[in-house]
Amino acid sequence: MIPMWWLAVLVTIVAVFGAYATWTVTRVERLHRRARAAESALLAKLDDRAETVLKFVGNPGFEEVVALALSVVAVPADTQRQRELREYAENDLTRALRDLAENPLWSDDLDSANRRVALARQIHTDFVRDAVASRSLTMAVVLRLHRRLPRPEYWDIDDPSSEFGSV
């Protein structure tokens, strides 16, 4: 016959293990949800910036930037290939905007849009870093969460605030 205190110890160990497993699953899933939400916010800020650029249609010197903004808006980010094309288009737009930063028609709206993109990019990068790190927790590996949850991806885009001033 097993002494009663052994049964209490066994139940306590199982309860602690179950609580830790539940906490780990919740944490990993929450970090992945936040990374997806941050990516949606980043895409929204990138679209907002492109729409801000489109306000300059017809202004001399802004033809290339407007064309690049149109290409950015036209490319969704649903598949991996579309995502890569979107990254290239965003980087081209950022470089073109850097070249126009001294244009007298430059507006505070463009500065503001670039700052919002830079902030959204940093937040997204932080959440992706945390979500990717959470996938390597021992309990996450044991529970095979890395197979169930898609791995968040970084956006390889230039930091728009690096040349436009401080954030």
Q: What is the pLDDT of residue 117?
A: 94
> Contacts by 119-124 with C-beta closer than 8 Å and gap 24+?
119/45, 119/167, 120/38, 120/41, 120/42, 120/44, 120/45, 120/46, 121/42, 121/155, 121/157, 121/159, 121/160, 123/38, 123/41, 123/42, 124/35, 124/38, 124/39, 124/41, 124/42, 124/154, 124/155
So where are the chain's domains?
4-164
What confidence tens digit (pLDDT) does each residue in 133-166 have?
999 888 888 888 888 899 999 998 888 776 554 4
Q: What is the pLDDT of residue 163?
A: 54
Q: What is the pLDDT of residue 2?
A: 67
Percent of the chain past pLDDT 90, that is, above it, reads: 35
Q: pTM of the full predicted structure?
A: 0.82
pLDDT band of 73, cuts 50, 70, 90: confident
